Structures are given as C-alpha cells and as structure tokens.
A and B are shown apart, each in its own frame.
Chain A
Amino acid sequence: MVIWIVEDDDDDAGKAYRVVTAVANERNGKSSSQVKLYRVKLIEWPPELRTFDGTKNHIETDIQKARPSIVILDIYDRGKVRAPEFLVGLREWEHSLAEPNSIGVQRFRSFVILWTIYSGDDKVLSFLQQQSQRDRRISYTQTKNQVLLQEHLEGFWRQCDEEKNP
C-alpha cells in the first residue's frame, strides 16, 4: 500500500501521518500489504516525492517506483488553490501507466482524499463536488478533522483490499 501525503503544511502533514499509521495499525492483519508513505511538500505536478516518517522529509523517490494507492491531497499551497492541477497531472500520469493484459487494459487510478478546509470559497466547493461526482475514487472532507480523514482513509483502504479479490 503506497500512500502519498500531498501537504504543504508540516503540522498538517504530521497529523495525516498519524492518521495513516493509526489506520495501518488498525488494519494490521486485515490488510496483506505493507505500507509505504511518501510526502509531497510543494503541490505541483510532477511532484517531488520523498519518503516520510511524520517529522522530516527523507530520500527523494522516483514517482515511477511509488505509484500511489491512496493520495491525501491538500487543496491550498501557500494560500493558492493548487490541487486541481495536481489532480489533472496525477490522472494523466496514471492513464499513461495503463498496461495491456489478458482481459484488456489494466488501468491504475489511485483513491484521492481531498483533505481540506474550504469554507467560504464557492469555487473550491464546486471543484470538490464536481470531482467527487465525476470520479468515484475521489472523496473530500469538510474540514481538516483527523477523525474524518481516518474514516475516508479506512474506506479507501478497504476498497483497495477488496479490489484484490476476484
């Protein structure tokens, strides 16, 4: 299970990290895969991906080697809305990774949690609603509440696990 935390704020990235580790512990035994966590500090595509232990940024990693299962994506970076471009970049990149197999073409699309505060910004709200309507692998939380993030993360994690079954 590869999870990206795309978050400019170090404190929030730390919170997300704690949620991910809590869910990973909770699902320990239910989920067969090992968790690999990465952080993207600048919300831009292509991302600069680094391994992450909740506090410090670590080794820069090639995104080709860390295709995400779940992306926790903040909307704002330094006060500007940057998530839409990032999301477009992510989806186009994932589309390019499609691999032919015996049945047809195997496509990869990560689950994306838009984890943000959007109060008062109609454009952002509209973006969130449109994205979640168009793409069922995207959800958004109404605040940066850790409980909400945990609920969404647990849900997508379970979907990842269920997709491994025929």
Chain B
Amino acid sequence: MRLLLFPLSTVDPRAQTWLDGLAASDAELKLITYEKRVASHAVWLGDPFLVIGDSRRLDAYLTTLDDKDLEILNDCAYFWLLTENEGFTHPKLPTDRLITLSWNASGQNVVREALRLLQAFPRLKGLSKRMHFIREEIKRISFGPVSPGYSVLILGDSGVGKEEVAQSLFEASERGKRDHVEGSAMYAVGGAWLNMEPGMALTELIGLAPNRNDKSKYAGLLKLFSNGALFIDDFESSPVNVQETLLRIMSTRRGMPAIYRQVGGTKDEFTLSWLLFATNANLQKLRDASRLREDFLYRFEDRVLIIPPLAERPADFPAISHAMWSLLWESTNHEADVLRSSHLREIYGRKFKWEGNVRTLRALFALVVSMRCNPAHNHRSVGALIEMILARGDTYWHWVRIFETKFYVTGQSLVEEIRNADSGHRCFGSMPTVKLDENQLLPSERKALEVLTAEGWSIFKKLLSDAPPTKSKDILRVSVRLARVIWYVSQAETITVKILQHLTGVKSDQTARGDLAILANYDLKDLTKRKVRGPGPALLLERPGKYLFTLDSVLVNDLNTNSVSESLRNEFRGNRTPLVDSVTIETRTENEWIIGDKARTFVVKYDDFTLNVYEGKSGFYAKTLRFFR
C-alpha cells in the first residue's frame, strides 16, 4: 500500500515524528516522498497522498491548483494535509470530511483506517468519495451473514465495475476466504445467457435429476456453488420462470439453506449459495413493463449498492486510468510508458460523458498502447497519440475509426497519406488548369465526395467554378487542393496554414490563407457527414461550457470589427447555441468581445483565421478552441 508524501518545504521534525509513527503502525505501508514541484500534480498520480507544510505554504499550494485539480481534489476521499494547525481551512477545500491533520496530535488512525479500507478491496481502484462509501458498504454487507436470504443488488451503468464490486463483496465475506471448501467459489453468469429455452435455463440453475429413461444428471449452479456465491449480471434479461425460482430461493428464512427440487427430482435439495444480482436497466421501467416482479426488489432491503457513472466520480479517473494503463502494458513485451499527469489532464479536460464508462477509458488506452507498441509510431509521444485519437471525436465510435487510416498501421501521418493519394494520377506538374469532371475524380476528390453531404458537394463544385485558376506547379487543379483540405478537416480537428502548405505543396502563404478563407466562408467542415447543419452562422464545436463559432456570412479576408460583432450578435440572438438567455456583447478592443448571459461569460478574440472563445472574463485560463488559424 502506497501513500505519496508531498512536503512543501523541509519536513518539520514534528511532522517527521508523526510520519514515523504512521509508518511504524503498518508494516505494509510504503511512504513515497516526492519533490515539492510535483505537488501540483498530486491529484493525477492515482494514489492516496498527504501534503505536508505549514499553513502559509498549504495556503499557497491550494491557491495554485486549477479547476480540474480542484474537481478531483474535492471528490477525493484519500488525501490529507499535515500541518501545525488542525484548524487549518481553505475556501477551496471540501468541508464534508476530515482533511487537516495536526503534526502536534496523533491522528494517524484517520489515514491508517482509510488506507486499510482501500487495501481491503484491491479490485476497486477509485479514490472518490462515492467509491469510499461503496467500500464501506461492501464491508458492512459482507461482514454480515451471507446466505440466499441476504441477497445483494448492484446497480450501475454498463462498465462502471459491477462485477468488480460483486467480486469484492464475495472476497470480503467469510466465504471468499475459505480456500478448500467445495463449491465455495463465486460464479458469474449473465442474465442474457440464461435467456435460453426457459426449461434449459431452469435446469442450468437448479439442475437435473436422473430418471429411468435418462441417466444423465446435472447438479445445477445453485448446488455447485452452494457454499459460494452466484453473481447474476443483467438479471432482468433472464426468463420469468428463472426469476420466480430465484425469488423463491431469496425468500428463504434468512441464514437458512434454501430448499428446492431439481428438474425431475423427487427429493429436496439444499443450497446456501449467496445470490448477488446486478443490472444496468432502469428498474422503474422494467417494473412498469411487467418484466420484473416488484416483490423481487423488496428482498434486497438495505443491501443495494449503487455505482454512479465514471463521469460523476472525478477522483476515480486518475486511479482507474493508471490501473488500466499498467494492465494493458503487462500484456505487451514492452517496457511500459509512463502515463503522465499532462496526459490525464488532456483527457479529463474533454469532459467526456464516458458512455461505456471504464470500458471506454480502457478502449482509449488500448488504442494508445497498441500504437506505442508499433515501431512506426516510436517518435510519437503518448500525449501526441492521445491528442490524435481524441481529435476524432468524443466517443469510442469516433476514435476507433482511426483503423480506417493507414496511420494506425504504418505510422504514416494523415498529411503524408493525403499527399500520396493522388500520386501517379498526373495531377502534378505544369499542366493547364482543368475543371472538375465528376466522371474522372482523383482519389482526394473522391474522398471529398465521400465525406461531404450532397449540399456540401454542390457548394464545393460551385466554389471551384468561382475559384481562380491555380498557379502552383505542384497541383493540377484547384479542386484537388481543396479536396485535400476537406479530407484532412474531415479527419482532424484543426488545420493550419502550415499544414495546408504541406498538404497541397502551395508555397505562398497568401494562397494558403486564401484557401482557408474560402473554406471557412463556406464552412465545409460542418457540411461533412460527421455533422450536418442548417444554413446561417454555425456553431462549429460544442463541448460542455465551450463554444466555437464560425462566421460564414462574412468573408474572412474582409473581416472588420463591425461584421464580426454583428455575426456574434446574430449567433447568440438566433438562439443557435445553448445560451438561450438574452446576452450582452461588450466590445473590449477592435478584435475582442465579452459575451455573457446570466450564468456564463465568454471572451471572444479574433485573430487571423482563429476565433477563440475563452471561458471566464479574464480569458487566460480556459483552453482555446480553434478551427482555422
């Protein structure tokens, strides 16, 4: 068991004595001391930690933490401050648990007990308050009597770790500690798996007795795991007759063996199997749809564990991430890369909903690890790969499309892939400009046709007829140049003048900017199939609390203060954003505006091809979202 120590200065002798006392009280406790500079990363390291310093230094330390740090800190049940004054408090600290410990008093038991609880359930990785509560509940339930009459219900979305909780329950119980008793293991079965032919499902559960014609017999899960536990996941998917049988078993007088008969059996059978149920379904809806018997639920009494989604447990994110990361590397032949605080900040900052919860997080890391194990990606850092994957969208279904690109296998960048696509098609060299012929599209044009909507494609064609002939020797027609940009934008989040130059071979800065202006003006990104939008000014990107707008009614080259300001006004007044209340727009400088509604304030800055929207009035601490720059 690890406890990370972050001394903010030379450790006071009294603090050292306090720490020695803590270490002496538990031989398994490993205290790891970090340098002061690492303290600001403490919440991202995924281990319980103690920050040590006098009140002044603690105050300064807490002031340096940003919003993301504080979200995690406030949700964390396994960090403490060790200082001279036990009354130390800070406005940024939560007040619902004892955090400040004095090195003048012997309060080591606070830390020790929390760490022991954490250690008791190695399968449960999170450090959140919710997970701490679940550990306490598991302890309470599993230390009590276990039998069919004391069944437990575990509720939570898919991927929140219901099976890990069930395993922890079982392992913490007296049954989980018996090694050599027959049938004392826990067996997990999916309710959907039991959703076979009803008779067979029942046989699976209660077993089959031999008869005159058929000598075959099967003890059934209840018998096989009579001294253990039966974990039935998605139990609502099992047939009604199975539910009824389980209900009968659960109705047994508590602490007594349940009596039942096998299929075809003539004598009573007994089971002490502990029944653990889990579901991600909405129980209310199931009950209303008569798919679940109401009296089934009452049997769980005070033994219901509710696991919230990962997105609602910020302090679990670093700990689970580190655990996943280590596990994934164990299955490779490579030395593990370090998952750094900067990587976790990047992912956490996206505020994903994590549909699929821990499984989604694992899938993301699996993609990164897989690429890091491919020598073609040796030069790409973990952070760069994470950024590349996340740039594709907010869900696994966006990320996994990285398999569509050669990039995943060959490490060839998107720019290289696009550049190479048209080679061999006589599109290079000083040839006369040719207009677009839909019957003879080049690969990049075909890609543009593929990713654009019908409206987008018609705009694209119109745009080509309006565009001046290209002077570049590297490219045959303007359409190829723009098609490459559209292809790139459809896969990546942002494009820069420099990338456009790499993509198209255009050397002139002005031409590259002109291309971006044309595309920004027509807003082709939003006309791709990824996201179709209606006419008018568009919200390009929307993440919780962050918005990025395009000014498609204004030619970017001709932008001036009034037109930008007016566009933004229209944007807000048109209620095209979630900011539905009336807004105020205050001009700060000729290219900077403060926009606010009742709840939020944004600073919008325009420079070259970027429209940056910052959250908060200072405009310094929020991440910039940019499209064209």
Q: Hey, which bits of chain A sit against chain B, CB under 8 A?
A: 102, 111, 113, 129, 132-133, 136-139, 147, 151-152, 155-156, 158-159, 162-163, 165-166
Contact = CB atoms under 8 A, between A and B. Distances in A.
A102 B5 CA distance: 14
A139 B381 CA distance: 12
Contacts of B38: 166
B341 A165 contact: yes
A139 B379 contact: yes
Interface string B329-360: 00000110010111100000000000000000
Contact of B342 (A132, A138, A156, A162): A162
A158 B335 CA distance: 19
29 contacts: A102-B33, A111-B379, A113-B379, A129-B375, A132-B375, A133-B375, A136-B335, A136-B372, A139-B375, A147-B502, A151-B379, A151-B413, A152-B379, A155-B379, A156-B379, A158-B381, A158-B384, A159-B381, A162-B343, A162-B382, A163-B340, A165-B340, A165-B341, A165-B342, A166-B34, A166-B44, A166-B45, A166-B340, A166-B341
Interface string B354-397: 00000000000000000010010011111110000000000000
Contacts of B473: none
A166 B41 contact: yes
Nearest to B45: A166
B321 to A, nearest CB: 14
Given A113-B379, A151-B413, A162-B381, 5 more contacts: A132-B375, A136-B378, A156-B379, A162-B340, A162-B342
Contacts of B340: 162-163, 165-166
Contact of B383 (A132, A156, A162): A162
Interface of B: 33-34, 38, 41, 44-45, 334-335, 338, 340-343, 372, 375, 378-384, 413, 502
B379 A165 contact: no
A111 B341 CA distance: 22
A162 B344 CA distance: 12
Contacts of A129: 375
Nearest to A148: B416
B413 to A, nearest CB: 6
Q: B44, B381, B384 — which one has the most chain A CB atoms within 10 A of its CB?
A: B381
A111 B338 CA distance: 16
A113 B378 CA distance: 10
A155 B41 contact: no
A132 B378 contact: yes
A139 B378 contact: yes
Q: Nearest 4 A-B pairs (CB), nearest first?
A: A155-B379, A132-B375, A159-B381, A139-B379
Contacts of A166: 34, 38, 41, 44-45, 340-341
Given A136-B372, A136-B375, A139-B378, A158 B33 contact: no
A147 B38 CA distance: 36
A165 B41 contact: yes
A30 to B, nearest CB: 11
Q: B45, B375, B379 — which one has the most chain A CB atoms within 10 A of its CB?
A: B379
